[in-house]
Each structure stands twice: as structure tokens, then as C-alpha cells.
């Protein structure tokens, strides 16, 4: 008997609607769990939402509702999206659920009482020092500051200390490192595992376990003036969602006795691969078995961004391709785990070649011929068909091949293996040409060809069902089967279909799509939102300037410090062009600068203005006046 299988996605922060990134991870998890289910394994799939924190509280206030009510609304978008994408989770944990809160409080209590092997408390009190904006009532990172002031309130933050509890991560580092090295905590892909091990070399410090100033959160059981730190709270969802502190039997089953897998994108590597196992060790709980971190994708070679207008909305894809093909297309763009590029132009081509031409057409030609030549009844198998033994062998071997890939998270390889059988079946159909056999008076032989193809289709539909759950059922329906047929065991055995069973097909399973480009609509929308008033544009005072001298800024490889002449005066600016221009090259050039920009300090160097340059990918060019104009000439 196999161990039960437990898989999670991260919980998603509800300050955002679900986007393609969320969808990608969640579809992958759903697909992996469905494959496990095919083998007959008991499975549990947990996803959910992260709903605490200052940002949420603020967003709720803006919307004029209580935080909880605000979250309730956003959560519906997530649930709806997952439903639309055929994601079938077993648990949906919200960090505002009472059972989550209870669970976190239990964990915190245990951690607070626990001691390290050398007898030190795991949780200790310390001070956190940071930049605090009194108007926001929150700590800001240096990165968030604009010109050294709070971007919202334009006031400088004060350096403030607050009491925090800390988690003694340092006590677990050696042990944890060994667990990772020995794969007892299996981190995949390998490059991510190396990255984690690299973090140990770079030094890891204890982290905050609580915050004092945050209000929307879970108060510590032992100090109600503090709230559990976001990562402590969020990571706990993986156990609160399966009964920790609530239903011990369930927790035993899914955490202590199951194979536990966390799936996520690589950005949250440190928290999951280091903090989370350390917390569990401190609490005396088992660590997860596997952590898989998939990569990031770009769209048409560029990072997704609103200004580029190259985002992919899962809902748009569903509208164009349907939920099954959307899942298929997203998972076949590049290998799972690696970084990759999604090219929208490939969607239609891939859909047509794989799904319409190969799979859909196979189903169609086989079913229609059975209907036309065999009265819609599945004919009997026949002997000695050209390539018959080979296709049967390939089909019977396929379940093992597919699962071997899936168990290594090689989703693309698994899918391609299934598609291989589709191609074999089309080839088999062609070489035996049953339509000729019918005409030549060998209907039995023709029937045998069709029987083998029908069986291949059944096995294909079963093995692709985790990727395309509803389309697979539609295909099985053509063969007169339902979801009871969906199991790996059934896929392993040929001659499952009874000769004589009714075969019927209505339309096309995957109708061919026209390859046309009609995305102008969305592009226009984005431009409209960005329209400027003439007066707004005029606020930027641009002038021609001459570079008098230039030098590199020490310790920064992108920065040049420029002394420039703007006619009325000489001033200094800092520009991020060092990778494209040497100081010598840029000296003497006439450039365009915005002169009425707030002064700023960059890398400790004062900058009074910004120069104009055009950049695309790896190329950057200064914007220069086409003719000869003196410094100070205004640009309108």
C-alpha cells in the first residue's frame, strides 16, 4: 500500500486578484495530485489564501469594509478561478479561519516553551530596528523609500526600535543542512537545492517571529501586544489546513504518515527550505519530504508587466481555448521547473498541432469510421496487423513511463510521452488504411485496426486526464465510458473495451482554431489608462545638456556620475548607463535631461536630474538632439 500523498501550493496574498502565476502553480499541483489519484493513492491537495497584514487592513479601509469582509470578497475570485480551471483542491485554508488561528496559537505556544538541545529558549525577545513611517504606522524598507521619504506621505521615516520575539534559527542550521545534503529534505530541481545550500555558506540569521506594530494578525498567545510574524503564520497553513491543533487523526494521516510535497515558485525558497523546516524541527514535528520550486516565465521574451501590456489573463485563455487546453498549453510551453518563455503566438499553433490535428482528429477519424462502417459498434480485435504488436506494447508501457516522469516532476515529458502514443496511433491507422480494407472486402481486419485505435484512445485519454480532466471524459464518453474507467490499472491493460459496445461522436473534441491576431482591444485599453494631459507632460522641463566630465561611481556597476552644463548652470547627475557608455565615450556628448527633478542621493552621490535614454532588451541609447543646439535649449 502506498503512503498517502499530500501536496500544497503557497497560500496566495489577497491584495491581488488571481493571475497567471498563481494559476500556473495551482494547475501544476492539481495535475500532479490527479496523477497520484490515478494510481489509486489517497491524496490531499491544499491551497488557500493569506489574509493578514497591514496591506490588507489598509486596502479594506480604503474600500470601507472590515478586513475580514474584504477578504471574503477577494477569496471568491480565487475560488472562482480555480473552479474555472478545473482545479479540484481538497482543502482551502484561509489564514483568517478560526482553525488556522487556533493552530498557529498552538504552534507558537509549543515553540515558546521549547528549548534547543543546549537548553536555550527557541523564542527569545529582542529588538527590531527599522525605518518607521508614523503616518503609515508601519515599517518601510529602504527600497520602498522615495528620495528618502515615505512615498505616500512624503515625510522622512524615523529610525524606530520595537520589541520583537525572534526565532533561534542558528540552533538548527547544522542539522538542517545535513538533512538537505542527504535528501531527507528533498529540494528540487537540483539547481535550487544548490542555491539553498549556498545560503548556508552566506550566513543565515535568526528571524523575527512577531511584530508589535502590525494590528491585523494573530496575537501571540503569550504576549497579546504582539502579532505573529507573517512568515511564521503563513507557513503554518500547511499544517493548519490538515488538522494540526484541531483534528489529530487527520494531521497524523496527512502530515506524519503521508508523502508531503510543497510546490511553489522559486522566489520563496528561503522561507520554505530553511525557515519552515527549522520551525517544524523546533516544534518536534516531521519536516516535509519534498519541496519543488518551479521557475519564472517571461512572455514573448519580456517580463510580464502592465505597461508592456503583455500580461496573460487566465480568463482570456479559458475563453479562447477552454479550461482543458489552457491547462495543457500552459504546461507544455517549457519544461516544468526551469525558467521559460511563453510565446502567445505559439498557443494557437500548439493547440492546432497537438490537440486538434493529432489527438482530436484521431478520435474523430476512428469514431466516425466505426459509426459509418460498423454501425456504431466497436468491432472485434483481429490478428496480424501491421505494427499491431508494437502499438500495443507502447500503450501498455506508457503508464509506467508517464508516472516515472511525474514522480520526478517532469510534467512536460509525461505529456509528450502520451502524445507519442497519439502519433503512433495515427501512423498505425494510416499504414493499415482500414478504409481500403473495408472496400477490399477485409472488414474484419479493418475492424481490428479500429479496435486497437479505440483502445489506444482510451489509454491516451486516461493518461492525459490529469492535464485535461473534462476533455478526457468527453473522449472516454465517445467510447461509452465514464470516469469509473479512469485508473492507471485500466490504462495498463489492453483489451479492456468490449467489442460491440456503442461508439458515438457528436462534434469535434478539439475544434481547429483560426490563427489570427486580434489583441488590439486590450492594447488600446491600456493606453487609455495612461493618457496624460498636456499640462502634465509640460511639467517635465527638458533641456539640452552637455556632458563636461564623467566618472564611474565606486561600488556600483551601472552608475556614472556626470558633470553637465545645462546652459544656465552646471550640475551633477547620476545615470545608470555605465554598462553601455564609458566615461570617455559620454564626455562631450549633447544629451537631454529633465532638470526639474527632485534631487536624490544614489549610492551616496547627489543627483540633480535625469537623462533620457531609450532601452530595449540589452540595448540602450542616449537621446540626443539631432542638430547642434547649445546647452540649455528647451525641449517641447
Partner RNA sequence: GGCGGUGUAGCUCAGUUGGUUAGAGCAGCGGAAUCAUAAUCCGCGUGUCCGGGGUUCAAGUCCCUGCACCGCUACCA
Buried b (16+ CB within 10 A) or exposed e, 173-194: eeebbebbeeeebebbbeebbe
Q: Are 391 and 319 in contact (CB under 8 A)?
A: no
Q: State the maximum Cα–Cα separation within the chain, in Å, rounded to a whole number.
A: 98
Structural contact between residues 398 and 418, judged by C-beta atoms closer than 8 angstroms: yes
Instruction: Enumerate residues 463-502 that contact RNA by CB under 7 A.
Output: none
CA dihedral 558, 562, 566, 571 (to 10 degrees): 120
One of 58, 195, 300, 396 touching RNA (CB under 7 A) = 195
Stretch that binds RNA, among 87-95, 104-112, 241-249, 337-345 (CB under 7 A): 337-345
Site residues (CB under 7 A) for RNA, limited to 124-183: 142-143, 146-147
Instruction: Tell me which H or E stretch contains 513.
Output: none
With H, G, I as helix, E, B as strand and everything else as coil, classify residue 203.
coil
Q: Which is nearer to RNA, 118 or 202 (CB)?
A: 202
Q: Which of residues 74-133 bind RNA (CB under 7 A)?
A: none
List residues with catalytic annotation: 19, 22, 133, 136, 150, 153, 303, 306
**Binding to RNA by residue 411, rule CB under 7 A?**
no
- The span from the CA of 398 to the CA of 405, in Å, is 11
SS (H, E, C) 383-414: CCCCCHHHHHHHHHHHHHHHHHHHHCCCHHHH
Q: Which is nearer to RNA, 371 or 633 (CB)?
A: 371
- Out of 497, 575, 592, 622, the residue judged to bind RNA by CB under 7 A: 575
Nearer to RNA, 101 or 592 (CB): 592
DSSP classification of residue 143: G
Q: Report the residue from 248, 319, 430, 489 that binds RNA according to the rule CB under 7 A.
A: 430
**Element (H or E) spanning 49, and its range?**
strand 43-50
Among residues 267, 389, 390, 569, the one that binds RNA under rule CB under 7 A: 267
Q: Which of residues 280-299 bind RNA (CB under 7 A)?
A: 296, 298
Q: Min. distance of Cβ 449 from RNA in angstroms?
A: 10
Our finding on whether 200 is near RNA (CB under 7 A) is: no
The binder of RNA chosen from 61, 120, 174, 191 (CB under 7 A): 191
Give the shortest CB-218-to-RNA separation in angstroms: 26
* Grid-cell match 545534503, residue found: 181
Nearest-angstrom CA–CA distance, 406 and 7: 13
Query: How far are the Cα atoms of 93, 429, 463, 486 from residue 42, in angstroms, in the given order?
Result: 19, 38, 18, 15
Cα separation, 626 vs 636, whole angstroms: 14
What is the nearest approach in angstroms of RNA to the Cβ of residue 160? 20
Based on CB atoms, which residue is closest to RNA, 77 or 558?
A: 558
Whole-number minimum distance, CB 122 to RNA, in Å? Answer: 27
Among 184, 305, 508, 549, binds RNA (CB under 7 A): 508
For residues 108 and 610, which CB has a smaller minimum distance to RNA in the complex?
610
Minimum Å distance from CB 156 to RNA?
A: 14
Stretch that binds RNA, among 10-18, 234-242, 456-464, 570-578 (CB under 7 A): 570-578
Q: How many Å apart are CA 453 and CA 437, to the nearest integer?
A: 15
Instruction: Give the whole-angstrom CA distance, residue 507 versus residue 500.
Output: 22
Say how far apart CA 323 and CA 81 lie, in whole Å.
10
Among 69, 155, 308, 349, binds RNA (CB under 7 A): 349
Binding window for RNA (CB under 7 A); candidates: 116-124, 222-230, 390-398, 426-434: 426-434
Least distance (Å) between residue 309 CB and RNA: 17
First-to-last alpha carbon distance for the chain, in angstroms, is 76
Fill in the per-residue mask, 355 to 384: x = in contact with RNA (CB under 7 A), - = not in contact: -xxxxxx-xxx--xx--x------------
Residue 22 corresponds to which cell in the numbers above? 498563481
Q: Scanning residues 583 to 622, which ones bind RNA (CB under 7 A)?
A: 597-600, 602-603, 607, 609-610, 617-618
In the complex, what is the shortest distance from the CB of residue 296 to RNA, in angstroms, rounded to a whole number? 6
Q: Smallest distance from the beta carbon of 466 to RNA, in angstroms?
A: 20
From CA 459, how far away is CA 354, in angstroms rounded? Answer: 17
Candidates 124, 222, 334, 496: give the one binding RNA (CB under 7 A). Answer: 334
Q: Do residues 213 and 139 make contact, with C-beta atoms less than 8 angstroms apart?
A: yes
Distance CA 574, CA 552 (A): 9
Tell me the closest approach of the beta carbon of residue 613 to RNA, in angstroms: 8
Nearest-angstrom CA–CA distance, 424 and 388: 10
Nearest CB to RNA, comparing residues 311 and 361: 361
Cell of 316: 482570456
Task: State which of residues 500, 511, 588, 630 lies at the interface with RNA (CB under 7 A).
Answer: 511
Closest to RNA by CB, 122 vs 415, is: 415
Q: Give how many residues touch RNA by CB under 7 A.
A: 71
Where would I find the H helices in 242-380?
248-251, 269-270, 276-282, 314-331, 344-350, 361-373
Region binding RNA by CB under 7 A among candidate stretches 91-99, 160-168, 333-341, 519-527? 333-341
Restricting to residues 518-557, which ones interact with RNA according to CB under 7 A?
Answer: 553, 556-557
Query: Smaller CB distance to RNA: residue 153 or 303?
Result: 303
Q: Which is nearer to RNA, 110 or 413 (CB)?
A: 413
Nearest residue (CB) to RNA, 54 versus 608: 608
> Residue from 510, 545, 550, 592 that binds RNA (CB under 7 A)?
510
* 189-192: Cβ within 8 A, 24+ apart: 189/292, 189/293, 189/337, 189/338, 189/409, 192/266, 192/269, 192/273, 192/293
Output b/e per residue, 543-560; b: 16+ Cβ within 10 A: bbbbbeebeebeebeebb
CB of 401 to RNA, least distance (A): 12
Amino acid at each position: 500500500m502506498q503512503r498517502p500523498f499530500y501536496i500544497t501550493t503557497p497560500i496566495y496574498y489577497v491584495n491581488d486578484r488571481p493571475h497567471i502565476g498563481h494559476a500556473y502553480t495551482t494547475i501544476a499541483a492539481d495535475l500532479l495530485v490527479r496523477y497520484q489519484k490515478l494510481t489509486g493513492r489517497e491524496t490531499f491537495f491544499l491551497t488557500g489564501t493569506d489574509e493578514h497584514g497591514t496591506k490588507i487592513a489598509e486596502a479594506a479601509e480604503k474600500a470601507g469594509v472590515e478586513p475580514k469582509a474584504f477578504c471574503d470578497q477577494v477569496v471568491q475570485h480565487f475560488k472562482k478561478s480555480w473552479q474555472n480551471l478545473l482545479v479540484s483542491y481538497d482543502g482551502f485554508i484561509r489564514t483568517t479561519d478560526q482553525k488556522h488561528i487556533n493552530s498557529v496559537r498552538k504552534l507558537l505556544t509549543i515553540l515558546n516553551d521549547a528549548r534547543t538541545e543546549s537548553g536555550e529558549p527557541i523564542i527569545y525577545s529582542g529588538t527590531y530596528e527599522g525605518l518607521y513611517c508614523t503616518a503609515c504606522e508601519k515599517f518601510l524598507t529602504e527600497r520602498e523609500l522615495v528620495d528618502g521619504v515615505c512615498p505616500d506621505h512624503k515625510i522622512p521615516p524615523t529610525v524606530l526600535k520595537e520589541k520583537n520575539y525572534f526565532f533561534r534559527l542558528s540552533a538548527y542550521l547544522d542539522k538542517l543542512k545535513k538533512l538537505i545534503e542527504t535528501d531527507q529534505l528533498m529540494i528540487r530541481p537540483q539547481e535550487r537545492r544548490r542555491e539553498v545550500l549556498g545560503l548556508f555558506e552566506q550566513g543565515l540569521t535568526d528571524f523575527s517571529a512577531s511584530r508589535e506594530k502590525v494590528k491585523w494578525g494573530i496575537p501571540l498567545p503569550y504576549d497579546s501586544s504582539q502579532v505573529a510574524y507573517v512568515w511564521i503564520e503563513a507557513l503554518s497553513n500547511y499544517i493548519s489546513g490538515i488538522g494540526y491543533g484541531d483534528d489529530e487523526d487527520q494531521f497524523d494521516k496527512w502530515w506524519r504518515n503521508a508523502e508531503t510535497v510543497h510546490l511553489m515558485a522559486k522566489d520563496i525558497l528561503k522561507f520554505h527550505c530553511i525557515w519552515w523546516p527549522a520551525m517544524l524541527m523546533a516544534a518536534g514535528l516531521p519536516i516535509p519530504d519534498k519541496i519543488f520550486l518551479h521557475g519564472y516565465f517571461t512572455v514573448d521574451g519580456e517580463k510580464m508587466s502592465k505597461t508592456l501590456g503583455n500580461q496573460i489573463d487566465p480568463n482570456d485563455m479559458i475563453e479562447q481555448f477552454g479550461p482543458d487546453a489552457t491547462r495543457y498549453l500552459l504546461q507544455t510551453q517549457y519544461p516544468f521547473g526551469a525558467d521559460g518563455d511563453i510565446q502567445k503566438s505559439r498557443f494557437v499553433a500548439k493547440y492546432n498541432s497537438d490537440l486538434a490535428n493529432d489527438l482530436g482528429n484521431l478520435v474523430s477519424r476512428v469514431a466516425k469510421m466505426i459509426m459509418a462502417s460498423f454501425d456504431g459498434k466497436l468491432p472485434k480485435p483481429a490478428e496480424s496487423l501491421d505494427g499491431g504488436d508494437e502499438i500495443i506494447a507502447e500503450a501498455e508501457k506508457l503508464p509506467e513511463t508517464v508516472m516515472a516522469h511525474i514522480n520526478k516532476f517532469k510534467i512536460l515529458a509525461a505529456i509528450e510521452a502520451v502524445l507519442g502514443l497519439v502519433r503512433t496511433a495515427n501512423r498505425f491507422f494510416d499504414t493499415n488504411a482500414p478504409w481500403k480494407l473495408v472496400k477490399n472486402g477485409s472488414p474484419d481486419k479493418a475492424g481490428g485496426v479500429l479496435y486497437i485505435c479505440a483502445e489506444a484512445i482510451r489509454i491516451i485519454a486516461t493518461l492525459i486526464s490529469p492535464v485535461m480532466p473534462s476533455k478526457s471524459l468527453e473522449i472516454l464518453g465517445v467510447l461509452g465510458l465514464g470516469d469509473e474507467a479512469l485508473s492507471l490499472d485500466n490504462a495498463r491493460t489492453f483489451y479492456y473495451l468490449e467489442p460491440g459496445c456503442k461508439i458515438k461522436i457528436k462534434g469535434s473534441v478539439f475544434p481547429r482554431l483560426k490563427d489570427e491576431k486580434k489583441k488590439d482591444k486590450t492594447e488600446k485599453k491600456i493606453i487609455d489608462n495612461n493618457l496624460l494631459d498636456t499640462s502634465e507632460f509640460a511639467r517635465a522641463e527638458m533641456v539640452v545638456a552637455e556632458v563636461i566630465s564623467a566618472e564611474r561611481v565606486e561600488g556600483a556597476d551601472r552608475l556614472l556620475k556626470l558633470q553637465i552644463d545645462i546652459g544656465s548652470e552646471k550640475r551633477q547627475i547620476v545615470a545608470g548607463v555605465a554598462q553601455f557608455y564609458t566615461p570617455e565615450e559620454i564626455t562631450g556628448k549633447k544629451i537631454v535631461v529633465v532638470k526639474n527633478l527632485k534631487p536624490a542621493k544614489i549610492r551616496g552621490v547627489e543627483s540633480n536630474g535625469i537623462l533620457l535614454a531609450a532601452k530595449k532588451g540589452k540595448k540602450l541609447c542616449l537621446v540626443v538632439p539631432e542638430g547642434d543646439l547649445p546647452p540649455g535649449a528647451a525641449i517641447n
